[in-house]
Amino acid sequence: MGKKIITTNKKAFHEYHIFDKYEAGMVLTGTEIKSVRKCAVNLKDSFVRIEEGEVFLYNCHISLYEQGNRYNHEEKRVRKLLLNKKEIEKLIGKIKKDGYSIVPLEMYLENGWAKVQIALSKGKKLYDKREDLAKKAQVRDVERSVKLK
């Protein structure tokens, strides 16, 4: 099998400067993984926190599984992420020393396992966001003019 992307967090690329990326496994219940396989996931307002040496994903919306009945899960429950101890220590050092934050970028299935790509990031200022939008508009205009010719 390969890598099947479930969802991406486009808002993270707009709101943050992205630096180091990490791959983390997720601890999910049975109905959650079934909903993930149906691509019923939203990472829009989610964020990552490190508490007592463990990494957790907050505000990740995984829709209820339709056939789940009473065994269904909470849609926005806190989910544990699985990383190596060295990676967690490196993240803690960067957050405390340099003021980074951790955001999820995308969720995907790899060989049947649900994974999340997380990244160290810093928030963009308003003028940075405007510059990015202007650059995208310029690229789009150039592509249109080349396509018309």
Every domain of the chain and the residues it spans: 3-124
pLDDT in tens, 33-68: 888 888 889 888 898 999 998 999 999 998 888 887
Dist CA 81 CA 116 (whole Å): 8
Read off the tokens for 96. Answer: 């405390």
pLDDT in tens, 81-122: 999 999 999 989 888 888 788 999 999 999 889 999 999 988
The closest alpha carbon to 102, from 110, 90, 113, belongs to: 90
> In CATH terms, is domain 3-124 a member of 3.30.70.260?
no
| pTM of the shown model | 0.80
